[in-house]
């Protein structure tokens, strides 16, 4: 026991000095890890010196520290948003303490990809842009220190939403996958199903009334699709309403007017502080009645610069403006991050 | 790009059809597609050269150019 404690103390001192030197040079990842090791070694040495029953605090201490270091990673990481896209002004470099929910509307050109990081460290990905944007999404998720995607949602089987999802699924460990029960004949959709199958995953159907068991004081409920059939794949969009404390978000995919009517008729709560505007701000979504029910303070439009489809449509922008909503756009603002502490939502 | 990639209508965006071809997509004006075309339909493209229309257009443009250019 004595030999062990001396040895551990020696290691602790050595590592502390070493990591201290690293901290002076730069507070890099390596230094943080070394500091953690030093702390661990110190704890072990103290425990050993105190003469606790052999093996007690040591291993349990090390077991506890490791997940904690992982939980801290995603909290610190968002400070380093993708470098090429820092056109938007981030709020002051506040200390990113725990207890915050972060929603990153990733700039993927024409398409959707949204990363939700829960206060407890879980990650939800809603869509992953086009095939072409797949590598960008993978890169972004790494930047936000995503080690695992606990929940992956493909809102509907259009290429600008699910195109990059197979690449994401092939890259990261995935918990559960949610898709609406409708298919498309594209290679993109087939590749998504194959990626899911090859990983041994099963798809959970996304439909109105299905909730995602999140914990952390976060609730997530699908409020669309409600019907068994729609003419347009857009109206099949899995629409998710997420609440954290008194704050709420509505992610609408590409849901069009038919889906909006269904959602309004269902009398589910629609209100949200932040609305992800459906279908890249197209003319045929975000109707006046729907907008009134959601009553958002902020809206985010995920849209590509100079796209061929006239998104966002002037009429939709006008409706948002008349409703007094502050609009953010990925084509102008780049990736947009909303932060909620459960009481209010802070936008860039 | 493999030759046997299917051309699939991924979606419609207003008057544009978004066609998936392998790893990429491209737009076709909806007016070029049969009326019955819908999302998920596999299409075949047959591109045919039109020598007569080419000759007519060429003649038209040349005579217009003759009018517009300074006589040298």
- Averaged over A127-132, what is the pLDDT? 98
Distance between CA atoms of residues A152 and A119, nearest Å = 17
Distance between CA atoms of residues A154 and A163, nearest Å = 10
Closest by CA to A247, choosing from A340, A121, A339, is A340
Any residues with CB less than 8 A from the CB of A284 and at least 6 apart, and which?
A: A256, A257
Where does the pLDDT of residue B72 fall: very low under 50, low under 70, confident under 90, or very high at 90 and above? confident
Chain-chain contact of B11 with A131 (C-beta, under 8 angstroms): no
**Least CB–CB distance from A158: residue in B11, B16, B41:** B11
Q: Which residues of B touch A187 (CB under 8 A)?
A: 5-6, 8, 20, 22-23
Q: What's A215's domain CATH number?
A: 3.60.15.10
Residue scoring higher pLDDT (A70 or B4): B4
What are chain B's domains?
1-68 (2.30.30)
Chain-chain contact of A130 with B25 (C-beta, under 8 angstroms): yes
Chain-chain contact of A187 with B6 (C-beta, under 8 angstroms): yes
- Whether A177 is covered by a domain: the verdict is yes
Percent of chain A with pLDDT over 70: 72
- Whether A242 is covered by a domain: the verdict is yes
Work out the number of other CB atoms within 10 angstroms of the CB of residue A158. Answer: 30
- Whether A129 is covered by a domain: the verdict is yes
Q: What SS3 class is residue A91?
A: coil
Closest by CA to A142, choosing from A82, A66, A79, A196, is A82
ipTM over 0.85: no
Domain count, chain A: 1
A163 has pLDDT over 90? yes
Q: Given CB atoms, is B27 within the 8 Å cutoff of chain A?
A: yes
Cβ atoms of A255 and A280 closer than 8 Å: no
- Whether A64 is covered by a domain: the verdict is no
- Whether A318 is covered by a domain: the verdict is yes
Chain-chain contact of A186 with B14 (C-beta, under 8 angstroms): no
- Whether A289 is covered by a domain: the verdict is yes
Which domain, by its residues, includes A174? 101-346
Chain-chain contact of B25 with A185 (C-beta, under 8 angstroms): no
**For B5-16, what is each residue's pLDDT tens digit?**
899 999 999 999
A245 has pLDDT over 90? yes
Q: Which residues of A touch B40 (CB under 8 A)?
A: 183-186
Distance between CA atoms of residues A89 and A134, nearest Å = 25
Where does the pLDDT of residue A74 fall: very low under 50, low under 70, confident under 90, or very high at 90 and above? very low
Chain-chain contact of B42 with A309 (C-beta, under 8 angstroms): no
Structure-derived torsion over alpha carbons of residues B22, A202, A255, A191, reported in degrees to the nearest 10: 0
CA-to-CA dists, residue B20 to A188, A251, B28, B29, angstroms: 8, 26, 11, 14
Q: Given CB atoms, is B14 within the 8 Å cutoff of chain A?
A: yes
Chain-chain contact of A282 with B22 (C-beta, under 8 angstroms): no
- Whether A217 is covered by a domain: the verdict is yes
pTM above 0.80, yes or no: no
Closest by CA to A307, choosing from B54, B61, B16, is B16
Work out the number of other CB atoms within 10 angstroms of the CB of residue A304. Answer: 20
- Whether A321 is covered by a domain: the verdict is yes
Q: Given CB atoms, is B25 within the 8 Å cutoff of chain A?
A: yes
**Least CB–CB distance from B14: residue in A158, A187, A309:** A309
Mutate to test the interface with B, among A134, A159, A160, A182 (most CBs of B within 10 A): A159
Chain A nearest-CA residue for B20: A186
Cβ atoms of A109 and A131 closer than 8 Å: no
């Amino acid at each position: 026991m004595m030999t062990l404690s001396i040895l551990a103390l020696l290691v602790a001192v050595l590592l502390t000095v070493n990591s201290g030197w690293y901290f002076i040079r730069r507070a890099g990842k390596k230094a943080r890890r070394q500091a953690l090791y030093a702390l661990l070694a110190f704890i072990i040495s103290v425990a050993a010196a105190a003469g606790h029953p052999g093996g007690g605090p040591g291993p349990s201490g090390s077991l506890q520290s490791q997940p904690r270091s992982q939980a801290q990673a995603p909290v610190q990481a968002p400070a380093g948003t993708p470098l090429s896209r820092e056109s938007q002004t981030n709020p002051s470099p506040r200390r990113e303490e725990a207890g915050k929910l972060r929603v990153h509307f990733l700039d993927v050109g024409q398409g959707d990809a949204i990363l939700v990081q829960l206060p407890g460290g879980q990650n939800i990905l809603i869509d992953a842009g086009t095939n072409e944007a797949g590598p960008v999404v993978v890169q972004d998720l790494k930047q936000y220190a995503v080690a695992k995607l606990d929940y992956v949602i493909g809102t509907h089987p259009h290429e600008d939403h699910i195109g990059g999802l197979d690449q994401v699924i092939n890259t990261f460990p995935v918990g559960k996958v949610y898709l609406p029960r409708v298919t498309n004949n594209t290679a993109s959709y087939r590749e998504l199903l194959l990626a899911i199958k090859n990983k041994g995953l099963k798809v959970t159907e996304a439909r109105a009334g299905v909730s995602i068991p999140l914990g952390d004081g976060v609730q997530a409920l699908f409020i669309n699709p409600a019907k068994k059939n729609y003419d347009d794949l857009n109206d099949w969009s899995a629409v998710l309403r997420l609440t954290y404390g008194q704050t709420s978000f509505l992610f609408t995919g590409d849901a069009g007017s038919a889906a909006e009517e269904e959602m309004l008729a269902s009398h589910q709560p629609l209100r949200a502080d932040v609305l992800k505007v459906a279908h890249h701000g197209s003319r045929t979504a975000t109707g006046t009645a729907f907008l009134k029910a959601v009553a958002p303070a902020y809206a985010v439009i995920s849209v590509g610069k100079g796209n061929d489809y006239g998104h966002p449509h002037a009429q939709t922008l006008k409706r948002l403006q008349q409703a007094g909503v502050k609009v953010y756009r990925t084509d102008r603002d780049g990736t947009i991050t909303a932060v909620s502490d459960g009481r209010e939502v802070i936008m860039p | 790009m493999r030759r046997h990639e299917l051309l699939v209508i991924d979606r419609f965006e207003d008057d544009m059809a978004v066609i998936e071809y392998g790893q990429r997509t491209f737009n076709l004006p909806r007016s070029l597609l049969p009326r019955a075309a819908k999302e998920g339909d596999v299409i075949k493209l047959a591109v045919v050269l039109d020598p007569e229309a080419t000759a007519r257009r060429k003649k038209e443009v040349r005579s217009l150019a003759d009018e517009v250019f300074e006589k040298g």
